[in-house]
Amino acid sequence: MNIALVGAGNIAWHLAMALKNTDSPVKEIYNRNRSSAEELAKEAKAKVVLDLKSFSTEIDIIILAVSDEAINEVSAKLNVKPGQIVIHTSGSTEITILKSYFNDYGVLYPLQTFSKAILIDFKNIPVCVEGSTLEVSHKLELVAKLMSNNVLFVNSAQRLALHIAAVFACNFTNHFYSIAAEILSDNDLNFDLIKPLIKETAEKALIISPKEAQTGPAKRNDQITLKKHIKILEKYADWMILYQKISQDIVKISVKNQASHK
């Protein structure tokens, strides 16, 4: 199949790289900012298209790797030929956003955190597909399987839940690494110190359930330590509130679990 790409951001970049050297490489790329499109096109060995109406008739699937709020705008401008499929890559946008613009449409959502600077082995990334028809779903499955060994059908409601879970497990987790980094720096301690802990915490979750893996003062309902920590966090007002709320949540679950074991 012949693939075209709208966008040249993180997801566009990683999709193009994942499809490079497969049977369905990205052949054409459009991006609002032309120089970014040219940069990606060079890497992906694709052609830059100068406006959204100019994708060639050979294209089978147009992937909108754009921000959620640009999906409507881009869709309205596209000039799609019969049989061409248009898909978006958004975790939190329903498939039906594309319904009023196209006959055949779908979603291809790779569940991962993408930074241009970091190379990713796409083969292990779960790629969630949803098609407007069984035929579209099947075609998307074929393309997704070129990129990943972990392809699954996920409907729009599930995909939204998956995206929210990902925000907790990835975005918020990373933000907590940032908070740790700042607290360490304020105390003349190197962020490297905490790296083995970050690594082990993630690796544990891959082996035992996070419920079993939970440790720390809140898990032990150790109020003396919790109070000491909160006292120190007074100078970081926002984080003190977070500390209290999350600790309360962990204490609550821990106390409930203990009661149910009695």
**Footprint (CB under 8 A) of its own copies, residues 208-227:** 208-220, 222, 224-225
Determine the 3-state secondary structure of 261 from DSSP: helix
Both tokens of 91, joined, read 């975790």
Of residues 7-26, those binding its own copies (CB under 8 A):
10
Per-residue mark of binding to its own copies, 51-90 (x: CB under 8 A): ----------------xxx---------------------
Residue 156 CA to residue 44 CA, distance in Å, equals 30
Residues 112-151 that bind its own copies (CB under 8 A): 112-115, 117-118, 120, 124-126, 150
Smallest gap, in angstroms, from Cβ of residue 58 to its own copies?
33
CA 74 to centroid of chain Cα atoms: 21
Q: 111, 136, 144, 151: which one contacts its own copies (CB under 8 A)?
A: 111
Nearer to its own copies, 50 or 259 (CB): 259
Residues in 227-256 that interact with its own copies by CB under 8 A:
228-229, 232-233, 238-239, 241-243, 245-246, 249-250, 253
Please say whether the beta carbons of 114 and 89 come within 8 A. Answer: no
Q: Which helix (H) or strand (E) covers residue 128, if one does?
A: strand 127-131
The owner of tokens 């729009």 is: 156
- Token digits for 141? 């499955």
